[in-house]
Amino acid sequence: MIPTTRIFAVALAAILAAPLAAPLATPLATPLATPARAQSPSLDAARGRTVAARWCFSCHVESPATAERLLPEVPAFSDIASKGELTPARLTAIFSAPHAPMPELDLSRQQTADLSAYVNSLAP
């Protein structure tokens, strides 16, 4: 029987005697992985209108001309869109963190972005 230290010594000698891997002849074809960047959702006003029909039209209307408001104190989407300070990013933030009396909406990032695009599409 061969002693364990002898097996270890032979294995270590074999590892040390092996040639090192040759460096790459050409650089890597693709760059090394970088941390994933958060992708901004694409904006689709038509999908946003579908979201609004499901979640918003019980209180908001598209414009005062399209329907009578059920709640006069709730602004029409066209009125919201006509306010220049409500950019798509700001609307997205408002939809993500609703305020009273607006209920909490269970929307994905994509739905929120689409809803924002839809409201902004109603600007004069």
Q: How many CB atoms lie within 10 A of CB 33?
A: 6
Scan for tokens 């109603």, then name that residue: 122
Report whether 67 contacts 52 (CB < 8 A): no
Nearest partner of 116 among 107, 65, 124, judged by Cα: 107
Q: In the CATH hierarchy, which fold is given to the domain comprising 45-121?
A: Cytochrome Bc1 Complex; Chain D, domain 2 (1.10.760)
Nearest-angstrom CA–CA distance, 84 and 76 = 15
| The pLDDT value given to residue 11 | 44
> Of 63, 65, 94, nearest to 81 (Cα)?
63
Which run of H or of E encompasses 53?
helix 45-55
Mean pLDDT score of the chain, rounded to an integer? 73
Question: Tens digits of per-residue pLDDT, 48-85?
Answer: 999 999 998 888 888 877 767 677 788 888 888 888 77
**DSSP code of 37?**
P
The residue ranges of every structural domain in the chain are 45-121
